[in-house]
Structure 1
């Protein structure tokens, strides 16, 4: 079906004038803030002797992420502007080791020496309602930016958010382009379709219109629920429901339940048809966190979402999301915050997910896979190196229908406020 986006398009046109409307004043300047993040990223992915001609992908790069946010001008409607600058610089790579997703490549897969982009966002605020037009980095259930590499992916569009009612957040917006995490260019949006998702897109392989709408409501301090709609024009429609409950059960103890259901159907020539159910339960005591989860795919295809971003599946891990057609997967996870031992800033996460019952077209028997992840992170809490962070991420993947992978990422980051 064709989405009726006249209202959102009108917001886009109106928002184009925000940057020149109204004089700059004290609030606009005094409430502004700027920061730069320096991110040094090394990644090694070993393909474990797969049939691919590339034995491994290994790259090292330096990233610069500059963010500026102005305040709002005074008056019934306040105006402002945000800016984002992204730059990635190659430190080590080669044509035969490229493809980690941290460096841009040319048509011959040669990694470029540097790449980047800049984005501006005009914004307006009236009461507790804001409108942003331009560069966006949404993190809502139906569309999520990905920030797992050197630079994040970003989107272009308009986003209206209202918090007029206490405890209720409403969102409405439209996106027309995305910029991948390893690219300088804006492109039309496509559906992630690797693995055994078995999605047939027909004649419509990309779209310049993604519409989202929905809201999140906090019923009580312990219970939060949300519903969101997301539609990639001509490809799929999606309805996302989430319910989170946190039960305090004693001193430094809690039990969290996270239930998610997503219904995806085709919107035109594709065959998208998927039900995704996920349940995640976490028991915390002191610095320990113990998690168990179950995720199930059903329908004629796997899970659909915009390529280059993240999704809301509970088993979205470092490499896989276990969203293939008919896949069932189980998760066990352990977290520890070393602040409980007097070492604030140090944390550990390890998890294991196994999936089976995958419908792999063209072969007999079910598809099976598993992934094991371990993260160790430390952020300096005080002194001249405050906010310096070091993270080591390791993942192992084994599959009878996809690639076997061993992967390590080393990330050194430092965020410095400019004012």
Structure 2
């Protein structure tokens, strides 16, 4: 019922936008872009008796998006419309599934897939309502741009910045399209089935900058008949002198089943702390995360990401009882006269995993990226990620991802 009302509101808002397209701002402030993404992934399994020795694919993606400006009216209206599409260049049944391309019933990857998207926008003063396609980056729901086509949601999100230093956010998401899916699905938990779907995710939160160096965020979320969740985050930057700055991130989740508990018990509390010491082009980081409670940290179907977890990564480090830590180093080559070139190296380790037996897992990650800063190829990006994973008695693999990206700005 709630979703139906929002869809009716979307249709009405689109109609208003169409009636107002001649007004100043709607067209003049619009943008049409085409994002190009060439993506290669290869995972080489090292453990004994692996189901497959390798998985992976090579694909080309296109993301065409029109984003309007706003009508010149007291209550302003806008419209975003787009479509994305990916085509498989290489990779077959013998190397599927790879976490990128959707899989057909015979186990082979699709030759191509894509989605269309539309969102109506309504703005008054510094408050905006967006109904339709959503790519949120919130503690309670996030999209995933790390594969070929990005995870996205459908719903309604209201954001207000009327009060200085305060951002208020509220909304409802009722469907998800995963990074390796061509279909919208209701929301349910990773590892469950569509029969355990929720009617939607309701959420509200606030972020406030207490000072230029201290900010705080609180969110509450309810995945109807599955869980309710509280999130609290604090971030602080401390100048130490001589060009050194220490950033501290503290994050906490508390998640418990609610309503009909379609996923059964959900009992998880997560604490995370990250310290990052920066001087010039160098950043040194160290983080710690603890899973409390009887269950894994819940994530949405299609393994939608939870990047607000301190130790979120390929493994996630989200298992019951897990204590995980990381050390990290970032370098910006602008300090050597090479702006746009960056490198990150990270080691992560998880212990005390309680899955009926104590377990242990490690992950090392290295990311080298470059974006052309000027000239006819300005904006062309290249990203190489190397990941090594070792989960005791379960999985061991080496993964390489290579992405070439470029955005064509038509206007």
Shared fold (TM-score, shorter chain, > 0.5): yes
Residue aligning to 1:322: 317
SS in 2 for 1:29: coil
Q: What 5-or-longer segments of structure 1 have no aligned partner?
A: 194-200
SS in 2 for 1:17: helix
Residue aligning to 1:134: 132
CA contact (8 A) 1:122 1:134 kept: yes
Residue aligning to 1:307: 301
- Partners of 2:204 and 2:155 in 1: CA distance: 14
Q: State the superposition RMSD in angstroms.
A: 1.7
Residue aligning to 2:20: 23
Residue aligning to 1:417: 409
Q: Indicate whether 1:400 and 2:392 are aligned.
A: yes
SS in 2 for 1:121: strand
CA contact (8 A) 1:379 1:387 kept: yes
Q: TM-score, normalised by structure 1?
A: 0.93
SS in 1 for 2:9: helix
Q: Using a 3 Å threshold, how does the CA distance of structure 1 residues 375 and 202 change in structure 2: closer, same or farther?
A: closer
1:13 Cα offset (Å): 3.5
CA contact (8 A) 2:334 2:340 kept: yes
CA contact (8 A) 1:360 1:401 kept: no
- Partners of 1:278 and 1:354 in 2: CA distance: 14
Out of 346, 350, 356, which is 1:351 matched to?
Answer: 346
Out of 182, 194, 215, which is 1:224 matched to?
Answer: 215
Q: Using a 3 Å threshold, how does the CA distance of structure 1 residues 167 and 347 change in structure 2: closer, same or farther?
A: same
Q: Indicate whether 1:154 and 2:145 are aligned.
A: no
1:12 Cα offset (Å): 5.0
Q: Indicate whether 1:240 and 2:231 are aligned.
A: yes
- Partners of 2:337 and 2:164 in 1: CA distance: 37
Q: Using a 3 Å threshold, how does the CA distance of structure 1 residues 9 and 223 change in structure 2: closer, same or farther?
A: farther
- Partners of 1:13 and 1:252 in 2: CA distance: 55
SS in 2 for 1:26: coil
1:202 Cα offset (Å): 10
Q: Indicate whether 1:84 and 2:82 are aligned.
A: yes
Q: TM-score, normalised by structure 2?
A: 0.94
- Partners of 1:358 and 1:234 in 2: CA distance: 27
1:16 Cα offset (Å): 2.7
CA contact (8 A) 2:326 2:349 kept: yes
CA contact (8 A) 2:127 2:158 kept: yes
- Partners of 2:383 and 2:207 in 1: CA distance: 31
Residue aligning to 1:266: 257
Q: Using a 3 Å threshold, how does the CA distance of structure 1 residues 164 and 157 change in structure 2: closer, same or farther?
A: same
- Partners of 2:195 and 2:301 in 1: CA distance: 15
SS in 1 for 2:167: strand
Q: Indicate whether 1:277 and 2:274 are aligned.
A: no
Matches within 5 A, 1:366-405: 366-405=358-397
C-alpha deviations, 1:197-248, integer Å up to 9, x for none?
Answer: xxxx799622231111111111111111000111211111110000000112
Matches within 5 A, 1:101-140: 101-140=99-138
Residue aligning to 2:284: 290
Q: Using a 3 Å threshold, how does the CA distance of structure 1 residues 347 and 354 change in structure 2: closer, same or farther?
A: same
- Partners of 1:114 and 1:186 in 2: CA distance: 16
CA contact (8 A) 1:15 1:123 kept: no
C-alpha deviations, 1:142-179, integer Å up to 9, x for none?
Answer: 10001110110110111111111111111111111111
- Partners of 1:187 and 1:167 in 2: CA distance: 36
- Partners of 1:185 and 1:411 in 2: CA distance: 24
Deviates more, 1:104-113 or 1:87-96: 104-113
Q: Using a 3 Å threshold, how does the CA distance of structure 1 residues 211 and 51 change in structure 2: closer, same or farther?
A: farther
Q: Indicate whether 1:55 and 2:53 are aligned.
A: yes
SS in 2 for 1:28: coil
Out of 175, 181, 205, which is 2:196 matched to?
Answer: 205
SS in 1 for 2:113: strand
- Partners of 1:203 and 1:140 in 2: CA distance: 24
- Partners of 2:291 and 2:117 in 1: CA distance: 37
